Every structure is written in structure tokens, then in C-alpha cells.
Amino acid sequence: MTQVRRNEAARVAILIALWVMFFWRLMTPNAANALHLKEGDFSGQFVAWAGYQAERQAAGEVALWNPYNNAGHPFLADTQSGVFYPPRVMILALAKPTTPGVIYNALQWEAMLHILLASLLMYAFLRRTIERDAGHFGALIGALVFAYGGFMTGYPLLQLAVLESLIWLPLMLYGVHLAICTKPGKFNLEPARIEWSGFVLSGVVLGLSLHGGSPQFAHWCIILTLLYAAHLTHSARRSWRVWLIGAAVFGVVGGGLAAVQLLPALQYYAASARRGNFTFDSQGNGFPPYDVVQFLFPGWLTLWSPLYIGLPGLVLAALALVRRGAGAIFWGAVALVALGLSFGRNTAIYDVTYNLVPGFNLFREQERAAFPVTVAASVLIAMGTASLFTDRALPKRFLRWIGAALAFMFVFAAALFLVWQIGGTVETRLRTVTFSVMIGALTLAWLVWTSRDPVRANWQRAALLCLVALDLFTVGHSIENYTPGPALATGSTPPLVTQVKADTRGIFRVDGARGVFDNNAALWGVLDIRGISPLRLDRYEKLFAMRIERLWEVLAVRYVFSPDRELSIPGEIVGTGTDPLGAINLHRLTDPRPFARMVYQTWIEPDDGAAVNALASKDIDVRRTAILPEALPVPLIEPDEAPQVTVTNYAPEAFRIYVRTAAPGLLDISQVNTPDWKARLDGRSVPILRSNVALLAVLIPAGEHDLYFSYEPDLYRAGLVVTLLMCVAVCGVCALAGIARLMYPGFRARRF
């Protein structure tokens, strides 16, 4: 092994060792020392849905529909489900048995492995963009800041969709650099030499990002990749046709590979409540401008400090900008603009971007622009580190600036401490100030040592690595993202939920606002009317404007978890217990509406808002009446003989109902209606009607009938075909290119 390869292996080993050091308490088998990722969004959203997906995957099925949340939910179409995200599929395939604790532990490992992957991918990108051994050490420091800075170790750890969409950006940038710059760290000025496979690589990785589950962060990855490609195209004096063709390849390959997820997701988004609720004001939330304080003092203002890149990182990024290496101005501009965007509507930058950048007006929570700030800062830090060890002479003026900045930081911290020493946070802020000033002093001491003694480069590099790790790891471990105890001990089914599951008398729903929470109904296997997905169908959302007892009636609720001893309608307490918020009672309603029932009276109301008002009205007997948007083609007459309705089989994407009625009537079913549900009456397709604003209904003729419902999303099938064709195309192109390079050695040099 050559010295270069030994150095390379050593840096990769360092990144792996640092990863183990950061997460060792999540890995240890010692229960007394063990931690697990904090319950909340991580458990209630991702673990809950992963448990359902693992169950379906183990049965060899694709989870298209989730019957357990929101009275039925298009599971695949909700991007956060990550049904086809390859790492999730592999992790869940290894999670045996599929119990809640095992799923929790599996997803925890998934999160940790993605942090390791983030560091390795950023190292690979920075290593290619910065030359020489000093540049490779700079890549190590930049990768460390990217993976363990305040952004990545904050809420992305608990929001798997965010983490799994953003970590692929370095590999997208790597592909673009590979395509346009044929030599590491240099711009090739020969316009004919383009490595188109680099754009294909970026497109493949974009497909992974889109499957990851966060469209907002995938959107950021697209924007940054295209901007970087434009920067390289200009710097390398390429024709802009290269950028246009490369962008097309990037988008077509990425979109094609993700089509199986994207097409159903776009259809679902168009029907969701979020689409109509977003406005400039509602989407323009972001950091208050004073949040820049957390560049210096992490944890001073909020639980997470996504802007924190470490004090040594700030100094190294500033050095890169002072020395203006290749690309420093570009990445500095990216960081500055993204910082402005992270303030949301507090700056005019957001107004411009909202109106001019395609897709930007689809997302809220603009503080997430801290992500491109972190990416740009990591690149600048790598450049600053490489510059420091390549050109030994540090400008004395730069050292004076750093010393002055440290003094200002101390005075500023003292002033802030005096102003904000209220609310029981004095101890926390004093600890923050002390730590930051200590790290600042160590950074200045290291710079002075480096500038005066340029002979001991290895010791200086080791000291810088330790200083950066000390800074970032201390801040990362102080964030309240962790709870004592091993992950395997979490997620067990509560006794009251077990009691509900023991009721096998037909199909019914529960109101799990207490006792179940979040999306846990999918993990525990009870049909809940609630969930915490950020996307809910607009018409279903409208139902929640009704009184709660009328909502229970419409959605066929039989059990209610509540802290109250009495409900607003008759019921009995059949169990007592506790949940994280305190004592609760399990109420069984005395006369719940059946899941499916025949009705012979209708109320016609084409407007959804008016239909909800009619449902909520006491003047309408919703047990005997269905509200429809248009009149039926045949009159309904209630027969003397009571109809018989029995659900004979109920599965996530299919259920069967036996119906016997003496006169034509409307079968009203408490199942959320989407265009992808199909109905077959006695084997013949029949139209599905929309009753009670958001639910299923079918017109049934007199007699005995077998009614079969199946969930058949057409866009899923179309997207699956597109994705499979794109997979074949990419594999075919790669195979042909490989064969050509084996048969014609000169083929590699042409880089067609």
C-alpha cells in the first residue's frame, strides 16, 4: 500500500472512530450507560410508520394505504413514509422480529449510519475539490464540521426524512465536479472533455434524496447542485450548453428513479389541506435576526443551534474568504444568501426568492436554510484548513483580528449575560459563555502556535482535529435529543390499547388524542381517527370543524381515550391507566355508529363547507342520512325489513362487505374516500360516491350482494413503470460504457 493510500485509509478510520465516539452511548450493550433517541417525532412519526412498513414488507407486500391513521391515509403517497428508500428497505429487512423495540433500535441505527455516511460523502467531495495532502486534511476537518455541527446533530437526528434527504448532497456535488472538472481540484479548460457519467451519478443520488422523504431538503439539494454546476461551468469556461444538458440529465434521471414515489405524492399534495393553507405569511417564519448569536454561543436561545459550526470553524472559514481560494467567493455568497433566507420574511431576500425561485413557495420553516449555510461553511473550513497548512505564513493582521474578535466576544457575552439573566436560565447561559470563551482562547492559542512553529505540522493537525472534535462533540452531546435507557426497551403496547385490540366485534375506530398519540396507532394496530403526518386530505381535515361527538359518529368511533370521567355522549369506562400526560380513562361509547350501514335518506349539498355545517347540525339525523354532493339517479325508499350489512374481510388495501337489502339504498362506509379506491359489486365495477364530505358510499340495488373494495392507485403503477425503466436505462448505459472502456482503452480519454 502506497503512502497516499495509507493516509487515505487513516483519515477514513478517523471519521469512523469519531462516529463511534459520538454515538457510543447509543451503541453500548450496558443498559446503565445506554441512551436512545428521544421519543416524540422520532418515535411517533418514523418508528410508528416503520413498524407498519416492516410488517407489510415481511409479508412481501408494498404498503400503499395506511388504515390506522386519520381514518385511512395514502401511505406511499406521503413522502415521509420512505417506502422505497433503499436503506430503509434494507434496515427493516434485517429487523427481526418486527416488534416496537426492535424497530426503534433499527431506525436509531439507520439515523447513526446516515451521520457516518454524511461525513464520508462530504470528505469524498472535499477531497476531490481541494488538491494536495493538506487539502485532504482540510477535507477531513470540513467533513467533521458537516456531520457533527449544530445543524446535523440537532433536529435532523429526530426527523429521519430530513436527514435522509440532505446527506446525499455532497455526492451530487461530487458528480457535478467529476463531470465538469476532469482533474481533482482543477478546472480543465478543454471544452470537449466532459465526463457525462458525473451528471448521471448526481441524478441517481437525487433519486435517493427524493425517496428520503423531505421534499424541502431535496429541493435545497437540487438548487445547490445546479448553482454549483453553474459556478463550475463559468469558472472552467465551458459552454452553457454543458450546464443545460447536464441539468436535464440530472433532473430526468433523478425524477425518473423517484417517479414511483413522486407521482402519487404530487397527486396527494394537490388534495391535501396544506396546499390551500400556505400563504406568504404562513410560510415566511424563520430565525429572528438575533439568532446569529448562536454562531458563537450554542444553546443560548433555543434547544438546537443549527447555525453553530464551531469557533475554530468560524476562524478557518474566515481565513478561506481572506485568502480567496478557488470557489471561496462562491461558497461565501451561498452562505450569506442562505443565512438571509433563514431569517424568513424578516429580510427582503425571502420576498425575492419566494417569487422568483421555482418551488420555493411550496415550503415553510425557512430556518431550514441553515442547511446550505452549514454546507457552504464546511467547504470554506476545508479550504481554510488547506490554505493554512499549504501557505505557512499567517498574516499578522489576521491574528490581530482574531484576538480582537475574541475580546469582543467576551465583552458581548458579558453584556448578553447581564441582559438575559432571568427566567431560571442563568446557569445554562453562564456555562455556554464559559465554554465558548474557552474554545475561543484555545483556537487563538493554536493559531499563534501554528504561525510561530511551522515545523511540527503533524502535531498541529492532530491538535486542530482534537480541538474541533472537542468543540462540536461537547455541544452535540449537550442537546436534549437523548433519553436514558436502551432503545430495545421502548415502544411496548400500552395495556389500554391491548384491551381495545381484544374487541373483535367488527370494524371500529378509536379517538387516540390521548393514550395513543401521534401515529402510534399504526405501530400498535388500532384504527385511529388522528395522526401527525404534516399532510392530511383537505376534505377529511374539514370534518374536524364539527363538534367532537358528531365527529365520532361520522367516523364510527367506538372507544375514546380521555382524562375525563364523563363524555358528552353516553358511554362507560371500561379501563383506566396512564399515558405520558397523566391518568386516562378508556370509554366505550354506548351506541357507536357501525363502520358500514345502509341509509335511505340523502341530503344534497355540493359545497364542502356547507356540507360540514349540515353534518354538524342537530336538525339532521346523521345515523339515517348521508350528505352527498349531487342527487342519486334513483329514488330511495326505506324498506320495512331491516337491511343486513356485514364486513366479512378487512385488510389495508382491500375489504369485502356482504349486503342484503329489500330496497335500493346507499351503503355509507366510514372509510376515507380517494380516487384510487375501486368498487366491484358482485364482480362488476360500480362507481364510488362521496358521502359526508370525505367518505365512501356505493348505491346498492335490492337483493343480496357481495361488495369488494380495493385500493389501486394508478399513478403508483405508472410511477413504478417509469422508475423500473429508468433503472434499466441507467444500468444499461453504465454497462455499455464499461464494455466500451474494456474494448477500446482510448474510450476513457475521450470522455464523451
Identify which of 133, 151, 122 has the alpha carbon closest to the alpha carbon of residue 379: 122
Is the pLDDT reported for residue 749 higher than 50?
Answer: no
pLDDT above 90 covers what percent of the chain?
59
Mapped onto helix, strand or coil, the DSSP state of residue 170 is: helix
pLDDT in tens, 88-113: 999 999 988 888 899 999 999 999 99
Mapped onto helix, strand or coil, the DSSP state of residue 271 is: coil
DSSP structure class, residue 289: G
Identify which of 605, 622, 629, 630 has the alpha carbon closest to the alpha carbon of residue 555: 622
Residue with cell 381517527: 529
DSSP structure class, residue 130: S
Give per-residue burial for 704-720: e unless 16+ CB within 10 Å, then b.
Answer: ebebbbebebebbeebb
Domains, the chain, with CATH or none: 495-589 (no CATH), 598-712 (2.60.40)
What's the pTM?
A: 0.92
Beta carbons within 10 angstroms of residue 598's beta carbon? 24
Is the pLDDT reported for residue 241 higher than 80?
Answer: yes
pLDDT above 70 covers what percent of the chain?
89
Cβ neighbours for 418, distance < 8 A, ≥ 6 positions apart: none
DSSP string, 445-491: HHHHHHHH-TT-HHHHHHHHHHHHHHHHHHHHHHSS-EEES-GGG--
pLDDT in tens, 728-743: 999 988 877 777 666 6
DSSP structure class, residue 592: P
Q: Which of the residue ranges 443-452, 542-551, 567-576, 606-615 would you say has the lowest mean pLDDT? A: 443-452
Is the pLDDT reported for residue 418 higher than 60?
Answer: no
Is the pLDDT reported for residue 140 higher than 90?
Answer: yes
pLDDT in tens, 481-527: 999 999 888 888 999 999 999 999 999 999 999 999 899 999 999 99
Identify which of 689, 642, 648 has the alpha carbon closest to the alpha carbon of residue 669: 689
99: Cα within 13 Å, side-chain hemisphere: 10
